[in-house]
């Protein structure tokens, strides 16, 4: 998430991180504010009409999976960046890599079981243990390997869909019931988040975390995150991510990627609506439209950010957004803490419709943008970034900025 030398940071990477970490909240807010099933099946947990449909379609089209893709993309690039910097300093790059990501795993486990079950850091840490074996691969091999990871997920989806078609309906009745999330189940979940003791909330959080880190990891997040990390490594090695191609290259990527990606994702959204979020389809083949469409769409976002970084357009906000990216881990934790306070401690869980959730997101964005800018005027690292760095290197770093 950050390089060894903060004074030699690459502005494009920081701006992209800031863009991604803020965008991730657009989807995560649903898991904080609504019953867990609402993320995948909105018809099960709300009045799915009017503005709620408009908001869901907008998020599904432009946000769902796109910002996680960009963040995973950047994580892969940062792995190479840190390994290269370590080698230049004659450090044991392999040992540093595994130690750094071991501590990321510990941080992620703390986040998942103590703060919020939707943690992605555990997935990233586990994927990083594999990434090291691709460190010397060519950009072409990295890109092809990333696509192969997506293909593995597509094959798993197809296999599961065929299995579900053959399984007697009575044997998957329980899974169907969870998918439809009956009113009693939703009320039980809402009671725990709004009124439960810390022990009750911990038990429910642990249950969801285990599901995310086992079944969902093997079936989905491993292949999705790993695929994007490998593509990010490819883009970094080839210089694409560093803005080393022509303006026309990035302009074409932005235009064609947006058109192609939105068309594919929108087609998948229409199919889901036509099938009324049918269980067998939505957890298998129905996810593939978004997977395929996200590839060109997320890359078009990256291309647009690179073009912006190379221009003189709104440079002050660009620099401010880079501050958010420099503190991506701190801001990620901050989002979880703020949302947990609002929806669990204050008891707003289940009360806010999607448009109201968007207002909360915007307010958190404003707070984090201001906080990041002010913090980095006095300190060289965010608090979580400093802690992670200290655990990795076992030495302190200059933290406060000395005023001349």
Number of structural domains (the chain) is: 1
Torsion sign (Cα): 390, 222, 321, 115: negative
DSSP conformation class of 402: P
Please report whether residue 197 resides in a domain: yes
Output the six-digit token pair for 108. Answer: 């992620």
pLDDT tens digits for the chain (404 residues)? 444 444 457 899 999 999 999 999 999 999 999 988 888 888 887 788 899 999 999 999 999 999 999 999 999 999 999 999 888 888 889 999 999 999 999 999 999 999 999 999 999 999 999 999 999 999 999 999 999 999 999 999 999 999 988 888 777 777 777 777 665 567 788 899 999 999 999 999 999 999 999 999 999 999 999 999 999 999 999 999 999 999 999 999 999 999 999 999 999 999 999 998 988 899 999 999 999 999 999 999 999 999 999 998 888 999 999 999 999 999 999 999 999 999 999 999 989 999 999 999 999 999 999 999 999 999 999 999 999 999 998 776 777 775 55
305 lies in which domain range?
6-393
Single pTM value for the model = 0.93
pLDDT of residue 179: 79
Cα separation, 24 vs 67, whole angstroms: 5
pLDDT of residue 185: 67
Torsion sign (Cα): 336, 342, 348, 352: negative
pLDDT of residue 265: 98
pLDDT of residue 166: 86
Do the beta carbons of residue 330 and residue 376 sit within 8 Å?
no
pLDDT of residue 59: 94
Please report whether residue 398 resides in a domain: no
Please report whether residue 114 resides in a domain: yes
pLDDT of residue 184: 59
Do the beta carbons of residue 93 and residue 83 sit within 8 Å?
yes
3-state DSSP helix/strand/coil % of the chain, to nearest 5: 80, 0, 20
Please report whether residue 401 resides in a domain: no
DSSP conformation class of 114: I
Please report whether residue 335 resides in a domain: yes
Please report whether residue 109 resides in a domain: yes
- Residues contacting residue 291 through CB under 8 Å, at least 6 positions apart: 65, 150, 153, 154, 224
Burial of 374 (0-12, 13-18, 19+ CB in 10 A): exposed
Cα separation, 199 vs 215, whole angstroms: 24
Please report whether residue 173 resides in a domain: yes
Please report whether residue 273 resides in a domain: yes
């Amino acid at each position: 998430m950050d390089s060894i030398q903060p004074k030699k940071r690459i502005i494009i990477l920081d701006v992209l991180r800031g863009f991604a970490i803020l965008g991730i909240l657009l989807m995560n807010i649903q898991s904080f504010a609504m019953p867990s099933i609402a993320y995948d099946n909105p018809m099960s947990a709300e009045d799915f009409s009017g503005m709620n449909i408009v908001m869901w379609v907008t998020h599904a089209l432009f946000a769902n999976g796109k910002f996680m893709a960009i963040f995973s993309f950047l994580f892969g690039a940062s792995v190479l960046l840190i390994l290269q910097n370590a080698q230049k300093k004659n450090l044991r790059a392999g040992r540093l890599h595994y130690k750094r990501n071991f501590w990321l795993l510990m941080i992620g486990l703390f986040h998942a079981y103590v703060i919020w079950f939707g943690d992605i850091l555990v997935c990233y840490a586990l994927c990083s243990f594999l990434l090291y074996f691709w460190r010397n691969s060519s950009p072409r091999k990295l890109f092809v390997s990333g696509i192969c990871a997506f293909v593995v997920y597509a094959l798993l989806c197809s296999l599961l869909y065929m299995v579900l078609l053959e399984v007697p309906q009575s044997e998957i009745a329980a899974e169907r019931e969870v998918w439809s999330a009956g009113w009693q189940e939703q009320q039980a979940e809402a009671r725990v988040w709004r009124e439960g003791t810390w022990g009750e909330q911990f038990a429910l959080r642990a249950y969801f975390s285990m599901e995310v880190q086992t079944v969902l990891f093997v079936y989905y997040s491993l292949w999705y995150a790993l695929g994007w990390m490998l593509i990010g490594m490819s883009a970094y090695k080839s210089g694409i991510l560093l803005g080393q191609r022509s303006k026309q290259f990035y302009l074409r990527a932005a235009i064609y990627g947006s058109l192609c990606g939105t068309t594919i994702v929108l087609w998948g959204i229409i199919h889901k609506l036509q099938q009324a979020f049918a269980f067998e389809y939505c957890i298998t083949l129905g996810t593939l439209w978004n997977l395929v469409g996200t590839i060109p769409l997320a890359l078009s976002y990256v291309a647009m950010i690179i073009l912006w970084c190379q221009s003189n357009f709104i440079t002050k906000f660009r620099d401010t957004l880079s501050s958010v990216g420099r503190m991506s881990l701190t801001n990620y934790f901050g989002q979880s803490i703020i949302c947990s306070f609002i929806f669990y401690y204050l008891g707003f869980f289940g009360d806010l419709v999607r448009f109201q959730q968007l207002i909360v997101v915007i307010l958190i964005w404003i707070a984090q943008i201001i906080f990041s800018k002010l913090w980095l005027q006095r300190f060289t690292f965010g608090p979580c970034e400093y802690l992670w760095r200290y655990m990795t290197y076992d030495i302190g770093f200059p933290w406060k900025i000395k005023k001349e």
